[in-house]
Structure 1
Amino acid sequence: MPLTVKDMMEAANAVVKRVDTAFAQVALGQGGLLLDVRDAVELQQTGRAKGAHHIPRSMLEFRADDTLQSHDPELQKDRPIVLYCAAGGRAALAGKLLKDMGYHQVYNLGGLSDWINAGGEVSEP
């Protein structure tokens, strides 16, 4: 039977821990990466969490694969990675993808609003 988005979200949420901003800030303080997986248009409209690295969800596989020339050196399999998007769905799916690719410490912060509501700073668009 074909997968549905609901099926994919359940699988992602089962393996990617949802964390709060306090957890994220501790992970970042220990060398972790805050990763924004939203589209470029969203960053232009709302900015991004201060210090966040941006890789759109649509390009993540190509940036995460360390055997490709397009690999992003910010992505290291032993580095904690805290993902966020607009509401948390893409972050969960992106997190599962990274785990499937061998990344070990992958977390879902949720959406940019979760960061902002907890007092996280935002870089202007």
Structure 2
Amino acid sequence: MFSFLRPNAGPACPPVAEIAAAVARGEMVLVDVRETAELRGSGKAKGALHVPLGLLALKADPQAPDAVMAPGKPVVLYCASGGRSGMAAQTLRRMGYDPVWNLGGFGDWVAGGGQVDRA
């Protein structure tokens, strides 16, 4: 929607339906980088991991004892509007993750027909 606000948006993201199907099959990782308070109000995309942007580098480090992801699967990120997920995509690319896409905002997930898990 507002892709001009997304720093380094990167390559075009797959459609929401394709992402949802790949996440359900375990072939792709979907990550919500918003803060916990933001999820309380809206929920999160079905199947998404919640890793706030400030913790992403730690939680994505395969050497960390509490890592929640590792390079090897495609990653799609989103936040509230696309800015933080753009920064998160840059971080993951520097860490060796590939491919990495910035979906944009949670509203883009919903507008694309994505299901929501209410917290």
Q: TM-score range by the shorter chain?
A: 0.7 to 0.9
Aligned counterpart, 2:16: 21
Is residue 24–residue 109 contact of structure 1 (8 Å, CA) maintained in 2? no
Measured at CA, do residues 27 and 17 of structure 1 come closer, stay the same or move farther in structure 2, by a change above 3 Å?
farther
Q: Name structure 1 gaps, 5 residues minimum.
A: 1-7
Structure with larger Rg: 1
Q: Report the secondary structure of 1:104's partner residue.
A: coil
Cα offset, 1:24, TM superposition: 2.3
Q: Residue 90 of structure 1 corresponds to which residue in structure 2?
A: 84
Gaps of at least 5 residues in structure 2 are 1-5
Higher mean displacement: 35-44 or 63-72: 63-72
Q: What is residue 28 of structure 2 aligned with on the other side?
A: 32
In the TM superposition, residue 23 of structure 1 has moved relative to its aligned partner by: 4.3
Q: Quote the offset at 1:119 in angstroms.
A: 1.2
Matched-pair contact (CA < 8 Å) for 2:17–2:114: no
The AA in structure 1 aligned to 2:51 is: I
CA distance in 2, matches of 1:112, 1:54: 12
Does structure 1 residue 104 correspond to structure 2 residue 107?
Answer: no
Q: Share of identical aligned residues, percent?
A: 38
Q: Give the 3-state SS of the residue equivalent to 2:97 in structure 1.
A: coil
- The one-letter code sitting in structure 2 at the alignment partner of 1:85 is C
